[in-house]
C-alpha cells in the first residue's frame, strides 16, 4: 500500500527539507518528493529549513516557555494540518544539523508534541494519527552507519522524537556516500528519493 493511501481522501503531506543550506541535494530531493506526491493526488506543503527564522536555543528547557516566532507558529500549524510527514536531511557528525534539532526542540514542546499525564510514566503523544518517512543523506556509507556506528541518530529520531509524539509507520531511506558522487549519481539519488512515497 502506498504511503499516501488514506480512506478515500487526499493525503495532506508536509515535506521538510532539513538542510539549512542553499542549493542542496536534500532540497532537490524534497522538491522531487513534493512533486511526485502532487502527481499522486496529495495536498502538499513543503518547508525549507533555510527559510525559517527562529532562535534554535531552548535556553531554559521546559522551565520557561519561549513564545514561537511566526515561522515556528506556521510550521506547527502545518504539522497539525498534515496526516503524512516526510523529513529529508543530511547527517552531520552522526546527527541532525543544529538548526533542525533546534526546530524540534522549539516546536515539539509539552502541550503540542506531547503532554504529561499525572500518574503515568510516559507522556501522551499529541500528534498521533500521522505517518512519517525520513530520507537521510550521508558521506558515511550506510553499512558503516548501521553496523559500525550503531545508527544512533536514527534510533533517537524514530523512537524518541517522531514515535514519542505519535508518528507511526516510520521508515528511513539512506543515500550515501554523497561526497565525491558524480552528477549522474546525484541525479539518480534525487529520482530515487521520491520512492519513499511507495
| Angstrom distance (rounded) from CA 106 to CA 60 | 11
Residue 134 confidence (pLDDT) above 70: yes
Distance of CA 122 to the CA centre of its chain: 23
Model confidence pLDDT, tens digit, residues 52-110:
999 999 999 999 989 999 999 999 999 999 999 999 999 999 999 999 999 999 999 99
Residue 184 confidence (pLDDT) above 70: yes
| Angstrom distance (rounded) from CA 160 to CA 182 | 35
Per-residue burial over 83-118, b = 16 or more CB atoms within 10 Å of its CB, e = otherwise: bbbbbbbbbbeeebbebbbbbbebbbbeebbbeeee
| Angstrom distance (rounded) from CA 40 to CA 2 | 10
Residues constituting the chain: 198
Domain 12-197 has CATH 3.90.650.10: no
Mean pLDDT over 35-54 rounds to 97
Number of helical (H) and strand (E) elements in the chain, helices listed first: 7, 7
Per-residue pLDDT band at 119 (split at 50, 70, 90): very high
Per-residue pLDDT band at 1 (split at 50, 70, 90): low
What ranges do the domains of the chain cover? 12-197
Mean pLDDT over 112-141 rounds to 95
Residue 195 confidence (pLDDT) above 90: yes
Amino acid at each position: 500500500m502506498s504511503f499516501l493511501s488514506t480512506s478515500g481522501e487526499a493525503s495532506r503531506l508536509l515535506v521538510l527539507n532539513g538542510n539549512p543550506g542553499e542549493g542542496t541535494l536534500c532540497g532537490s530531493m524534497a522538491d522531487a518528493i513534493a512533486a511526485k506526491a502532487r502527481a499522486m493526488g496529495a495536498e502538499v506543503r513543503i518547508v525549507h529549513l533555510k527559510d525559517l527564522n527562529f532562535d534554535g536555543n531552548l535556553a531554559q528547557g521546559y522551565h520557561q516557555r519561549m513564545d514561537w516566532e511566526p515561522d515556528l507558529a506556521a510550521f506547527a500549524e502545518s504539522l497539525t494540518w498534515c496526516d503524512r510527514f516526510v523529513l529529508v536531511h543530511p547527517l552531520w557528525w552522526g546527527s541532525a544539523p543544529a538548526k533542525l534539532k533546534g526546530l524540534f526542540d522549539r516546536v515539539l514542546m509539552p502541550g503540542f508534541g506531547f503532554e504529561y499525564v499525572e500518574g503515568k510514566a510516559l507522556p501522551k503523544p499529541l500528534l498521533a494519527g500521522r505517518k512519517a518517512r525520513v530520507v537521510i543523506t550521508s558521506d558515511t556509507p550506510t553499512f558503516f552507519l548501521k553496523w559500525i556506528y550503531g545508527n544512533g541518530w536514527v534510533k533517537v529520531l524514530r523512537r524518541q522524537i517522531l514515535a514519542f509524539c505519535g508518528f507511526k509507520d516510520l521508515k528511513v531511506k539512506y543515500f550515501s556516500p554523497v561526497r565525491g558522487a558524480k552528477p549522474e549519481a546525484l541525479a539518480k539519488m534525487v529520482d530515487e528519493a521520491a520512492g519513499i512515497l511507495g
